[in-house]
Structures are given as C-alpha cells and as structure tokens.
Amino acid sequence: ASKSVLVPQICSLCIFSPHILRPPGHNIIVNGKECINFASFNFLGLLENERLKNAAQASLAKYGVGTCGPRGFYGTFDVHLELEDRLARFMKTEEAIIYSYGFATIASAIPAYSKRGDILFVDEAACFAVQKGLQASRSNIKFFKHNDMADLEHLLQEQEIEDQKNPRKARVTRKFIVVEGLFVNTGDICPLPELVKLKYKYKVRLFLEESLSFGVLGEHGRGVTEHFGINIDDIDLISANMENSLASIGGFCCGRSFVIDHQRLSGQGYCFSASLPPLLAAAAIEALNIMEENPGIFQVLQQKCKHIYKVLQGIPGLRVVGQSFSPALHLQLEESTGSRESDMRLLKEIVDYCMNRGIALTQARYLEKEEKYLLPPSIRVVVTVEQTEQELDKAASLIREAAESVLN
C-alpha cells in the first residue's frame, strides 16, 4: 500500500536559509561574507535611509511596537489613515486600503470580489500570491498564455458565446482579467493598452498587481499606468506591496472608493490580521515623501536597469529573461540538462561562485508541487539605485566567469 505524506517533498536545493548579520542594503553580510547585494528588492535604496529610521523610531516611541488588533477592532491608528490617504493621492485614485502583509494583499483582494461561479481570466505566469487568491475565490479560472492577447481574446470570445446561450446566468456572472504590471517570475511587462481595449470590448473588470512596477516605472514611479500613459480609472483595482520600493512591510490596494470600501468587510487579510505596526506605516509615509521630493530617482534606476541588461547579454550558456527596464531579471540555462534538479544544481554553483567573490545573488524559488505553471530554474539579478556602474560591470563579469567555469 502506498504511504501518504503530510506535506509534499521539497527538493533540498530549494531549502536555503542564509544568515544575515546586518540590514540587507547596498552591502550585505551573508554567512559571515560581505557582498554587494544583488538579491534584495530594495530598488530605491531606502532600506537604510536615515529619514525612514527616524520616522519609525518616533512612531515607536509614540505608539509602541504592534497594534494587537485588526483594523475593525481598535487596530486603526491615525498613522494608518494618513498612509492610506497619501497612497491614494500619490496614485491619483479616490481611495486606498493597506494590509499588514504584502502577500496577503492580492490574495485577499481577489476573493473579496470574485466568488463561486464568477470567471477569472489570468496570465499563466502570475505570481504565487495571485494563485492563492484565485484558489480562495473558488471561481472558474481560465489561464491564457503569458502576455498573449490573441489567446486571451479567444477565451473571452468563447465566454461571450456561452453567455449568449444562457443570458440569465451571464447577468449574474462577474468576469475579471488578472495580470501583473511587471511579472516577478519573468521580468516582463504586461501589454496594458491592449488589456484595456479588451476590458471594454468584452465588458470585464481588470485587476493589476503592481508589486514589482510600483515605485519603479513611470516618470513619478506610479507604475505601468503612468509608463503607458493609461488613465488609472481604466483599471478597476491596483494592488502592490510596500516591501520593495517603499522598504517597509505590508501592501495596499487603490481605486474608486466604492471598490476599495468593499474590502474593509470582505478582505480577509484586512479583517482578520492585526493591523500594520505603526512604525512601519510611518516609514512608508516617509518613503513616499522621498519619492515625491526626488522624482529623478526613477530615471536613475531605469538607467541602471538598462545597463545591467546590456552587460548580461552574451554570457555563454545563459540567457537573460526580462525586459531592459525591469529591476529584477532572470538568468536561465540556454539548454537544460533534462533534469530540473541538475539545472538547479548548476545555477547554485554559479550563485556560490559569485557569493565567494563578493556578489550576492539568489535563485528564484517556487513551491514546485503547487505552482500552476512552473517556470524553468533561474538566477535572479536585482538592480537598485545604490549600485554603481562599476559594480554592475563587476557583477556581470563575475557571472560570466562563473558560467564559463561551471558550465564548461
């Protein structure tokens, strides 16, 4: 008889817990080794910013550490309301809502609106947080090929035919498109102008997860809507975490007031988790202040993204996955060994080679048994405004050297 296991087996190569001995800013000490950090999503270099530290310390002295209650049960502090107001004004939307954890934000937002019987059209490269939101919604899920608008339209046309057969059911069935602005698993940008056209043509709602693009794309860091010049009112819901560009914790959703207010009683992560510690809300507010005062920081980041994209090209045995303006790129093997575990082992050797020589990288990791569409193993290279051009060149040169050593 076969034995059932409590949890699925996890590949040993997926279990890696480095010991960090100081803030993972520009430089990082990993297992006692000091390296330049090319792994953390500290895109704007605000993690060690003194203004953020001072704001957090002042909040700590005023409010204490945590809140010990959800937002609806004495967990709403004035600093939470201020942060929501600031986020809404920054994004030029009517209202914003904040969550205690970035992962829980989109995972709570999707099932707040989409229920059993509703239909979600989702890009197959969607991140794990989106996938958990889909699962919690119990809706009918229709995946389309990554960034393939023809495939999406084909699914929408099929649904339109089904709706015509049963108009009574169609009237009570809500339909949503769910995509990421910049896909964390691929470094690709969504074709937002085409998505907006399809939204109006087929009368569906559009949800946009912007954790990687918020504070990165657009003249003022407002994300893919600003990048493409799309009216933000054309998007029904925008979600992002505050754990990347804002260097804090938590996440937020923004949009029209009647849409956002619904989450205050229906967003599970909002209703049933202790609210965001005030010191983290204060730090996020100060990060927004810095972003508004220094809009040139986004151009600096873009220049560095384009530089690393250029110098990573042509490394023997590796291909660059992602677009030139993405701060997180992936390096995949040009040719697989035929075994996922062997591929991961080779990439780990490259990461270790670089780590031993002062460059901290990381492999992208997935819960392989739970991912809907498992992407090939990769090394993730993350760019921040703090890295100099010389450091970007050093990282690329070292990765090339490592690839030649390991793959040959």
Q: pLDDT means per 10 residues in the chain (408 residues)?
A: 61 68 84 91 95 97 92 93 98 97 95 95 95 95 97 97 91 96 96 98 97 97 97 96 96 96 92 94 98 96 97 96 97 94 95 94 87 91 96 97 92
The confidence score (pLDDT) of residue 373 equals 87
Counting every residue, how long is the chain?
408
The confidence score (pLDDT) of residue 189 equals 97
Cα separation, 92 vs 255, whole angstroms: 9
The confidence score (pLDDT) of residue 16 equals 64
The confidence score (pLDDT) of residue 137 equals 94
Cβ density class 269-287: b for 16+ within 10 Å, e for less: bbbebebbbbbbbbbbbbb
Count of other CB atoms within 10 angstroms of residue 143: 18
The confidence score (pLDDT) of residue 257 equals 95
Count of other CB atoms within 10 angstroms of residue 389: 12
The confidence score (pLDDT) of residue 1 equals 47
Cα separation, 129 vs 118, whole angstroms: 19
Cα separation, 387 vs 153, whole angstroms: 41
Contact indicator for 70, 270 with CB cutoff of 8 Å: yes
The confidence score (pLDDT) of residue 312 equals 97
The confidence score (pLDDT) of residue 254 equals 97
Q: Which of 219, 235, 242 is nearest to 83 (CA)?
A: 242
The confidence score (pLDDT) of residue 85 equals 98
